[in-house]
Amino acid sequence: MFHHCYLREGVLYVPTVGKRGGAYTDIEPVAVVPITNVDGLRRALLDAIARENPAVPLQKGKWPPPVVLKHAGVKTWASFERHTSTWNIEEKKNGNYKIGGYRRHPDGYWVEDREQEIEFAPGTAIEAVVDRMIAILQEAAAGARRADRRA
């Protein structure tokens, strides 16, 4: 199981994450929740996880545009990711959960940031993992607001 979310300008975008061949891809539905709505965040994350990673048929030709763009009201991935941070929740093969954060690579793409990785003890409930994810997201949003005020 693998799910991720995007935090952009105080709003969390939680796509359903499907599996197209060997690659994960964002698909509908996408939940859009203000970072201040804790109950909405919890519901969006748990709902996405409950949908698991549905199979998405392979398509010939061009890869479809990211589904989150229309929800964010932007036209390009570059516009979307400019003010975005991203995290994932992964269930490892042994049943343990991990939260992972990403950072920008100097060449402009996202890479896993091992310093933002949190591994949970065996038997940790997914609800506890989601609650920790919400705390991380709210802390990141508060940090972004402080940075914006200084700029």
Per residue in 81-120, pLDDT tens? 988 999 999 999 888 999 999 998 888 888 999 999 999 9
CATH number at residue 43: 3.40.1590
Number of domains into which the chain is organized: 1
Burial class of 2 by CB neighbour count within 10 A (0 to 12, 13 to 18, 19+): middle
Q: How far apart are CA 91 and CA 3, in angstroms?
A: 9
110 contacts 101 by C-beta, under 8 angstroms: no
Tell me the residue range of the domain where 123 lies: 2-150
pLDDT at 64: 79
pLDDT at 127: 97
pLDDT at position 143 is: 82
What is the model's pLDDT at position 151?
63
The DSSP line for the chain is: -EEEEEEETTEEEEEEEEEETTEEEEEEEEEEEETT-HHHHHHHHHHHHHT---B----SSSPPPPTHHHHHT-SSHHHHHTTEEEEEEEE-TTS-EEEEEEEE-TTSSEEEEEEEEEEPPTT--HHHHHHHHHHHHHHHHHHHHHHHHH-
Q: What is the pLDDT of residue 58?
A: 82
- Spell out, as residue ranges, where the chain has pLDDT lower than 70: 148, 151
CA distance 91 to 71: 27
What per-residue confidence (pLDDT) applies to 63?
75
Burial of 29 (0-12, 13-18, 19+ CB in 10 A): middle
Kindly report the pTM of this predicted structure. Answer: 0.93
Give the residues across from 90 on adjacent strands.
2, 98
Cα distance between residue 33 and residue 41, in whole Å: 6
- The structure tokens listed for 95 are 């049943």
